[in-house]
Structure 1
Amino acid sequence: MGEGSMEDKMKEEKKRLRKEMIDKRKEIPIEEVDRKSESIKEKFISFSSYQKANSIMAYLPFQNEVDTMPIIKDAIKKGKKVTVPKTYPKTKTMVPALIVDLENDFAYGNYGVLEPKEDRLFPLEPTEIDLVVVPGVAFDEDGYRLGYGGGYYDRFISKLREDTILAAVSFEEQIVTKVPLDKWDKRLHLIFTEDRVIDVR
């Protein structure tokens, strides 16, 4: 089988799994999302990697993702620098933007996700971030993730320090046996679910 057809097969497999997992996540009742998110938050904020971090980056949730807002609020309360991604679809890049005012910094932007407003954009250098909460639609126990297909995080991770911790928050329903891998896929260090912490360091 040629390299081209192998790549096509991988793309199709990722596309199929992505749709399957997003549909599965959407079926979780909202009260379950809230309950599980709270359990994940408790595990996350009690973990040493988070406690030692002076600055974190976290995504803002949509479509039944694990709710990261409780983690963001905890980090702000503890005096950590907290950033969220501002995406630029034309270049498929993103900038970590500091949260200065949680109530007024955001508006719905690309893909229907809350993002920092252009006039409330306070960028932080990626090398200043100690821990990144990376989103995904599926994860495996080896620390690999299936993202949404835009490649934003793959590009962004390459700009971080080597010792920056890559973590994910995930419902157990999103854990699969094996995520289909491309050669550029980066391994996460930690995955937090409502039931456990998967540490692959």
Structure 2
Amino acid sequence: MTIPWAVATSATAVALSTTRSAVLRRQPSPCSAIATMSTAGEKSVSSDAAHLDTIFKQKKALRSVIRRDLKSMDPTLRSQEDEAIQRIVLEAPWFKACKGLCSYVSSSVLREVDTTRILSHILTSHPEDLQMRKKLFVPRVEDRNRNMRMLNISSTEDLIASSMDILEPAPLDADGNEREDVLFANEPVDLLILPGLAFDKAGRRLGRGGGYYDTFLSRYQELAEERNWKQPLKIALSYSVQIVDEGTIPLTPNDILVDALVSPSGVIPISSAALEICH
């Protein structure tokens, strides 16, 4: 979803109109007209930059609040919500039906909703019918420039601890071959299980500020469009304290909405795609 940039105010419109009339009366040279357009453009860019700066400050403040709430969350309640959320996912028809998915590997350091049971179920379940097996891709952060790959794993032993003590797939498998990257896979995935710091019931998601997931989601959406694949369902897992009032999370043009939330109380469908699937 594309969010409009800051628009000119009525005062700015009047100013531009006055400037344009004055310029016409003076019959300016082409050079002076270009200079006037350049100044107006610079003001617009400056206004856009100020608007984005305000949004980034609002996001930073909200992150501090949610991090504090997560830190003070009762361990027993956290465990109960982890159990409830994972049970809801595992029992959901859209999870059972999916053949390929991307999912984050939960980190206790980041206080993310636990995905251990979900991933274990996928990696240890081997139905006789090969068509029922799920192909799993998990994230590996490549650098500090928002580059994150989703790589295929077949066992928890494929995961290694990063410098931040977060489990990620090793770039090579046990045979020394490069792992399959979902962006170069021949088949689409049906489901994306996403983390985040805060969410609302309109589909807004507040990440941790790195931009890794929004960048990946944008790339995968473009890939799906190019190959004429159905867009995967974007499901975010959320503790109760992470769900905020609508309008609390500000958006930038790069932010991507989720299709549904899974909270301890159940599935909250948001998009039309989710309303069709999440019964």
Match of residue 205, structure 2, among 145, 154, 178:
145
In terms of fraction of residues, the more helix-rich structure is 2
Q: 1:157 and 1:46 mapped to 2: Cα distance?
A: 25
Deviates more, 1:23-32 or 1:68-77: 23-32
What is the percentage of aligned positions where both structures have the same residue? 26
1:98 counterpart = 2:98:
no
Task: String of CA shifts for 1:34-73, please: whole Å, max 9, x gaps.
Answer: 2111101111122222122101111111222110111112
Q: Which amino acid aligns with 2:239?
A: F
Aligned to 2:75: 30
Aligned to 2:143: 89
Aligned to 1:165: 233
- Aligned pairs for 1:109-128 (under 5 A) are 109-120=162-173, 122-126=179-183, 128=188
CA contact (8 A) 2:203 2:257 kept: yes
Q: Which amino acid aligns with 2:214?
A: D
Unmatched tracts of structure 1, length 5 or more:
none
Residues 6/91 of structure 1: CA separation in 2 closer, same or farther (3 Å cut): closer
**The residue matched to 2:164 in structure 1 has which SS?**
helix
Q: 2:90 and 2:241 mapped to 1: Cα distance?
A: 22
Q: Which has the larger radius of gyration?
A: 2
Unmatched tracts of structure 2, length 5 or more:
1-5, 7-46, 127-132, 225-229, 272-279
Aligned to 2:89: 44
1:180 counterpart = 2:244:
no
> What is the root-mean-square deviation in Å for CA atoms of aligned residues?
1.8
**The residue matched to 2:199 in structure 1 has which SS?**
strand
- TM-score normalised by L of structure 2: 0.67
Q: 2:111 and 2:144 mapped to 1: Cα distance?
A: 26
1:118 shift after superposition: 2.9
Aligned to 1:57: 102
Q: 1:123 and 1:41 mapped to 2: Cα distance?
A: 26
Q: 2:190 and 2:54 mapped to 1: Cα distance?
A: 36
1:188 shift after superposition: 0.6
Q: 1:70 and 1:193 mapped to 2: Cα distance?
A: 16
Q: Which amino acid aligns with 1:48?
A: P
Q: 1:170 and 1:86 mapped to 2: Cα distance?
A: 21
CA contact (8 A) 2:113 2:239 kept: yes
Q: Which amino acid aligns with 1:184?
A: N
Q: 1:26 and 1:106 mapped to 2: Cα distance?
A: 26
Task: String of CA shifts for 1:140-199, please: whole Å, max 9, x gaps.
Answer: 000110001111111111232352110001001000113111122111111000012110
In terms of fraction of residues, the more strand-rich structure is 1
Aligned residues: 200
- TM-score normalised by L of structure 1: 0.91
CA contact (8 A) 1:55 1:131 kept: yes
Q: 2:135 and 2:232 mapped to 1: Cα distance?
A: 14
CA contact (8 A) 1:83 1:99 kept: yes
Residues 105/35 of structure 1: CA separation in 2 closer, same or farther (3 Å cut): same
**The residue matched to 1:25 in structure 2 has which SS?**
helix
